Each structure stands twice: as structure tokens, then as C-alpha cells.
Amino acid sequence: MNNEENNANNNLVDMRMYNDIKLLIENARKNTYYYVNFTMVKTYWAIGKTIVDYQGGNETAEYGEGTLKQLSKMLSEEYGKGFTLTNLKYMRQFYLAFRDGHALSDQLSWTHYRFLMRINKEEVRNFYMKECIENHWSTRQLERQINSFYYERLLSSQDKERVRNEIKKLEPSINPKDIIKDPFVLEFLDLKENRKFLEKDLEQSLIDNLQEFLLELGKGFSFVGRQKRIDIDEEH
């Protein structure tokens, strides 16, 4: 098909309709990313609350190290490496830092909250949380701003707008698609991080499942080979 035919076919589609559908798909994907992320965040908050509740609600009490280690071992065996002893301690700290679960935002990831938990003063922590949500900061933006004392610089600066705009030039804003690639999210969903997916890996996965399926069918079916040449109209 030549370029003129391609252009003629493209002209059959109203671009307004195309853009409306594109927007629906992008919004659906974004909402899915945020839903998965926020479900994980709320679950970790609830786990932290459960640990504290079993301490009798004592904020300063150290829940027996041996007990947490055993809990971590049991959870890790059943649900993967996202429930290490360190992570369980983070979840406990998460609940203690954000007692009001209704104040949690679906715009922030678990990594955002881990950075925010490092801030001891509640008013400063709430400031960074608000800035994250309103300005769509990535986790790298948040970390940079905390480490560069953004809160203190903003308070003492006479040119606050300049300070606010500085970060936009240094780090990209959060991309909803990055949430689904977050190792914490993959651990929570019990999915393996796959940085490269080669054709041979896809072929092996398909063959393994197909071979098992044919064996289940019993007599009358045969697994001939991994690859077969097929000729159609003198093309392979």
C-alpha cells in the first residue's frame, strides 16, 4: 500500500474521535496504575497498624525482634521477598507516622512514603507530602528536595517562585507508567521484574505450556517439533 492510500485511509477516521478514544485508554491505564499502587500502600499501612495493635498500641515498644523475624519468615515463604524484617519495620513506622489512613494519597507511591517517614517533624512532613501531590513530584524529586533542605530554603528565600521552579529543571515529574515498574509493586503483586524479554524466552514459555496441554489431551495428538517451516505463496 503506497503513501497516498495510507493517507486516504487515515482521512476516513475523524481525529477528534481518535483523540477521544486515546484519552479514554490513557486515563484507564493511569487509573489502573494508581489503583494497584494505592492498594499496596493501604495494605502496608494496615499491616503496620496490626503490628502496633498487637503491641498494645504502645508506640515506643519494640515488638519482639524474634517475633518479627519469625513473622517475616512466614510471610516471605508464602508471599515473596516484599516482607523482609526491614520492610515490616518500615510498615510499623509508616502507620505511626501517618495515623490517619484517610489522609493517605493515591498519588504517592510506597517509595514516596518511605522518604517522608524519615522526616520527624509532622508539619515539615505534611509540607513535603502536599508539595508532592500538587506538583506531581517523582520519588527522585522528593529525595532531592529533602536532601537540599527545600522546606528551609523556601522559608528563608525572598524569591520563593524561583526556588519552586528549580526542581522542574533538575528532575522529571512522576510518570504513572513508572508505578507499575516499581520493584515494590512487582513484589506486592508477586511478579518478577523482567528487564528484557527475548524471543527465545517467549518461545520457551509457549512450548512448555503447549507441550503440557498436548499431553493432557492424550491419544491422537503429537508434539512434532519446536519450529517447522511453512511455505505460503512461495514465502516462508
Chain segment 39-57, per-residue pLDDT in tens: 989 999 999 999 988 876 6
Fill in the amino acid letter for 77. Answer: E
Q: pTM of the entire structure?
A: 0.65
What's the mean per-residue pLDDT of the chain?
A: 77
Q: Cβ neighbours of residue 173 under 8 Å, at least 6 residues apart? A: 135, 136, 137, 138, 141
Write out the three cell numbers for 42: 493501604
- Average the pLDDT over 193-208 and give the result: 56
pLDDT per position as a tens digit, 215-228: 666 666 666 666 66
Return the domain boundaries, the chain: 11-217
221 versus 94: the higher-pLDDT residue is: 94
Show the 3-state SS of 112-164: HHHHHCCCCCHHHHHHHHHHHHHHCCCHHHHHHHHHCCHHHHHHHCCCHHHHH
Confidence grade of residue 156 (pLDDT, cut at 50, 70, 90): confident
Euclidean distance between CA atoms 138 and 154, whole angstroms: 19
Is residue 95's pLDDT more than 60? yes
* Backbone dihedral region for residue 14 (phi beyond 0: left; psi -120 to 50: alpha; all else: beta): beta
Which residues are CB-neighbours of 96 under 8 A, at least 6 positions away?
A: 48, 52, 59
Q: How far is CA 222 from CA 9, 30, 206, 213, in A?
A: 44, 44, 16, 11
Predicted confidence at residue 197, as pLDDT, reads: 44
Q: What's the rounded Cα separation, in Å, for the pair 188 and 91?
A: 13
136 in Cβ contact with 107 (< 8 Å): yes
> Over 90: is that where the pLDDT of 207 sits?
no
How is residue 142 written as a grid cell? 522528593
Mean per-residue pLDDT, 145-171: 73
